[in-house]
Amino acid sequence: MSRSPASRTDFIVDGHPTAAWVHSSDSTVTRPVLMVHGFRGDHHGMDLIAGTIRDRDVIVADLPGFGLNAPLPGGLSLDSYYAHLVGLIAEVSARWQLAPIVLGHSFGSILVAHMAARQPTTAPELVLINPITSPALEGSAKVLTALTRLYYTLGAQLPEEIGHQLLANPVIVRAMSEVMATTKDRGLRRYIHDQHARHFSTFSDRTSLAAAFDVSVAHTVTEVSDRLSMPTLVIAGDKDAIAPIKATRKFVAGLSDATFVELSGVGHLVHYERPDEAASAIMDFCRGRD
């Protein structure tokens, strides 16, 4: 199958304008993949994987509150994101006349896993990349999480100009990027840092960013693992400092129908550092499910 450059498309989800990008293939008979990106990112983060999947269309929408999409009128919470994703899936299904295979990366994994647990018909299959399997408010990461929460709280409460400068500070964004990147390839590290510099501060407003952060640290995919009975592909790196691999292995072992792809030498940025392997695993998983 050939692949065209991503093109923008727009949905109206329960009255909420939602910008999305479609990586189109030549196939008209395979189910599309709907990708949900991670915290502070937007659709650009999934470009490398989406552009490498050749056998089906891939749709990547900005989450409400990020990229080009405004926050939801009632605020950002696990419940509001759930309702939005259910509506988005319905819109994609109607336009493609095929139900999408749903994928979530990092923060997106929390959202799609909880959605699938509440309403399994929205996700007959599920793909999770770098799923959040460890509670951020517990264990060795709780001090760092508390400091990060203070950072987002201050960013929301300070005077607007100062608060935005804090949250979008290029030095802090670069520090986040340095911590997450595991590759030794200098060119790839430059690409990762450039992507974060360009797209990590495209949040719509400070209050929404803080609200989304609270959702990201208050929940994990493990909270609903006993309700994820659908075929599930999990892709994770064994050097992931945000979602340690031991917790992810335990999560996978508890699923009733799991396919696990563990990538060595990579951390939380599988979507940047190992997109070809991730795309190959996704295509293999999707075949036969159309």
Closest alpha carbon to 196 in 216, 220, 223, 178: 178
Instruction: Give 176-190 pLDDT, tens digit per residue.
Output: 999 899 999 999 999
- pTM for this model (two decimals): 0.94
Within a 13 Å sphere around the CA of 225, how many CA atoms are in the beta-carbon half? 22
pLDDT tens column, 137-194: 565 567 777 888 899 999 999 999 999 999 999 999 999 999 899 999 999 999 999 9
Nearest by Cα to 248 from 257, 256, 260:
260
Domains and CATH numbers, the chain: 7-136+219-286 (3.40.50.1820)
Phi-psi region at 56: left, alpha or beta (left = phi > 0; alpha = psi -120 to 50): beta
Give the pLDDT confidence score for residue 1 in this predicted structure.
40
pLDDT of residue 143: 74
pLDDT digits (tens, 9 = 90+) for 41-64: 999 999 999 999 999 999 999 999
In Å, how far are 23, 57, 101, 195, 247 from 1, measured between CA atoms? 12, 10, 18, 27, 37
Between strands 16-23 and 7-13, the pairing is antiparallel
Q: Which residues of the chain have pLDDT under 70?
A: 1-4, 137-141
Structure tokens at 128: 């999770």
pLDDT of residue 191: 97
E strand or H helix that includes residue 61: strand 58-61
Q: What share of the chain is helix, strand, coil (3-state, %, to 5)?
A: 50, 15, 35
φ/ψ of 260, rounded to 5, equals: -120, 125
- In this predicted structure, what is the pLDDT of residue 137? 59
For residues 103 and 122, give the distance between their C-alpha atoms in angstroms, rounded to a whole number: 12
Q: Tokens 């989800």 appear where?
A: 13
What pairs with residue 59 in β-bridges?
Answer: 22, 34
